[in-house]
Amino acid sequence: MVGSAAIGRKTPAWCTGLLIALLAAVSGVGPARAGCFPVHDPQFLALRPLVGRNASEALAKAEAGLARLPAGSAHTDPQRVAALYAIEAAAYRELALYRAARAPARQGLKLLSGAMSPLRQEILSSYAASFSSPSGIARALRRLAQARASLPTDSPSAVCLEIIAGKLNSLRNRSDLAIGELTRAYMQAQTLGLPTARIDAGVFLTDVLRRMGDYRQALRLIRQTIAWDKAHKSTAYLANDLYFEGGILRSMHHFHRAIAAYRKARAISAVADSHQGLAYANLRICQTDIAVRQFTAAHRACTLAEPVFAAGKASAMVKEGEVLLARIALAENHPRRALARLNKVLADSGADMAPTMVAPAYLARSQANAALHRYAAAYRDQSTYLRRFMAQNRIDQSRLRAALEMRFRTTEEFQRNAILTRKLEAAAHRAAKQRQLLNWMGTAGVAGGLVIVLLSYIVISDRRHRRQLLLLANADPLTNLPNRGHTAQLATLALNAAIAQQQPLAVALLDFDHFKAINDQCGHAAGDHVLREFARLSREALREADILGRWGGEEFLLVLPRATLDSALLTVERLRALASGIDVPAGEACAQPRVSFSAGLATTAEGPRTLDEIVARADAALYEAKDAGRDAVRISRTARATPRSG
């Protein structure tokens, strides 16, 4: 785990600037993979791969190249000089010397000011990733936004800059912004065929997804990265990938698999002589060994990690190790030893620790105090733990909701854009075919008349096609009556017109009796025949303004505009008589059944203002008809109490 640029790939997004800087100095997280920006400068292409393998050697070669340039020569190619500065900045980042990386980055940006070349974007990414304080990250994000605004959104450089922006937003604990930027970059890189950028975006996205609790997706992404790095023999990145995999597995409580991943990362770091990589792997092995109660192994791993963090002045990581050692002491029944460590850790209330680590430290000290019968101190620590835990949980939940919403919106936006792109491509293809057809017709010498005829046919056919589609969308396929949705639309329009014009209107719900028995005994074909025949006979018997639609199954809705209760009752009885005359195709196991339906009737005289109200009253009356023995019509109770007009 050598290098720097993937600081966001493995470091939690803590908002304390000092903590970020300390972690950056010791984390040893690998840089962004070379080749994200399509730089074609020969010097850069020759030296950039060396940065990942041996940053010190790459830095020495870049410095030697700059030293050989004639001092103050007006003939020196700015692009050539900027390429060497780009290597310097990348090498300093790889060596975790972030402040040193800014000077060559600034020099390179000055040389290429006004030119939005991939080389300038490469230098800008090094400059942006060299900041760790909140204010520095904010400045870097502003510069990235300005650069991205001047680039086409589908350019490789724009995708790579968005990855850097996502990493920086992750560092400042803005998972909601990071998830959107990294998801967009990942999908765009996949669409544009940029495998290196896609892998980089996926690696940074992995840590954000893990913090969001989407472990399955995070694991899928990091395993893609591991496969990529193995296939491309990128051993410089493998330790970092495996470290990520271990973190996801630990979050999923797959502790033994997590330990195996951490041990692989530790072995690669040992071969690469990366002390920071070894320390991080040992710290996480210690943490995971505690979870499986392997306290001796955990103590050994934590003890190996602590001196490395202390030498690097990474006080936050030193304190995290102290908390883990205190937990081991508690588990081994040494509360005084645990309390001594925890008092040292919490001397400044955990000011330079990650917020997620402070609450567990108070909980551990509460347990140590309780074991020593110091109950007042234990109660105070327990209260502090609960207060901090609840506060952090509220913050985490709020950020998680925002991140999930952003992720959903980003995915939806990308899918919508993809659909639009496909539609535009299809439209362009159709237009090209039409142009080809018209050209052919012109060549044939009959362009004038045939084009007019053809266009007229297209217009007429298109209109007919739209009408057919509309009919299919609104019609019930069995009865050819309006389906439920279209019936509700027509009924609502009729009801609103009746109310506005103060005209009567009646609504009836019709439900065929014992219809399941017809289907079961005579077959579904017989049941379908009954419904089709009823629809045909009813259309012939009803007025043009009347509306009959299939409401569901064997149920129909009848709407009778300008109908009083008496005239509506006569219409329903007429339909009952028609239904009773339907012949059911009888088979061997089916005696000739008698067809009938029950109905409930309601009118606007009862004062309903919406379709739902009047249908509910008709439905209540229908149930009364069913309860009365079926094959009957019942009027809603309110309508019975309303004087009949006429």
Task: Please tell me the predicted confidence (pLDDT) of residue 437.
Answer: 56
- List average pLDDT for each run of 10 residues in the chain, which is 646 residues long: 32 32 33 63 82 77 86 67 88 73 86 72 80 75 82 81 84 77 84 82 82 83 87 78 90 93 90 80 94 94 89 79 93 93 87 77 91 91 84 63 55 49 53 60 51 52 52 76 90 90 93 88 86 93 92 92 92 93 75 87 87 92 92 83 50
Task: Please tell me the predicted confidence (pLDDT) of residue 296.
Answer: 94
Give me 247's structure tokens. Answer: 């973190």
Domains 1-206 and 213-303 share a fold: yes
- What is the total residue count of the chain? 646
Which CATH number is 213-303's, of 3.90.480.20, 1.25.40.10, 3.30.1300.30, 1.10.630.10? 1.25.40.10
Beta strands in 410-513 (DSSP E): 505-512
Specify the DSSP class assigned to residue 512: E
> With contact defined as beta carbons under 8 Å apart, do 277 and 235 qualify?
no
- Residues 6 or more apart whose Cβ sits within 8 Å of residue 103: none
Specify the DSSP class assigned to residue 70: P
- Sign of the alpha-carbon dihedral angle for 437, 442, 444, 450: positive
Q: For residue range 434-479, what is the model confidence (pLDDT) as tens digits? A: 666 556 555 555 445 544 555 555 455 555 555 554 455 678 888 9
- As its CATH architecture, domain 1-206 has Alpha Horseshoe (1.25)
Q: How many other C-beta atoms can be found within 10 angstroms of the C-beta atom of residue 97?
A: 17
Specify the DSSP class assigned to residue 71: T
Residue of 443, 422, 424 lying closest to 432 (CA atoms):
424
Give me 496's structure tokens. Answer: 């609103």
Q: For residue range 109-167, what is the model confidence (pLDDT) as tens digits? A: 888 865 467 888 888 877 887 776 667 788 888 888 888 787 887 788 888 888 888 88
For the residues of 537-582, what is the DSSP string, one character each? HHHHHS-TT-EEEEEETTEEEEEEET--HHHHHHHHHHHHHHHHTP
Element (H, E) at 597: strand 597-603
Give me 287's structure tokens. Answer: 């943490």
The domain locations on the chain are 1-206, 213-303, 314-396, 445-474, 484-641
Q: For residue range 188-202, what is the model confidence (pLDDT) as tens digits? A: 888 888 888 888 888
Beta strands in 463-576 (DSSP E): 505-512, 547-552, 555-561
> Was domain 484-641 assigned CATH 3.30.70.270?
yes
- CB neighbour class for 419 (10 Å; exposed up to 12, middle 13-18, buried from 19): exposed
Task: Please tell me the predicted confidence (pLDDT) of residue 549.
Answer: 95
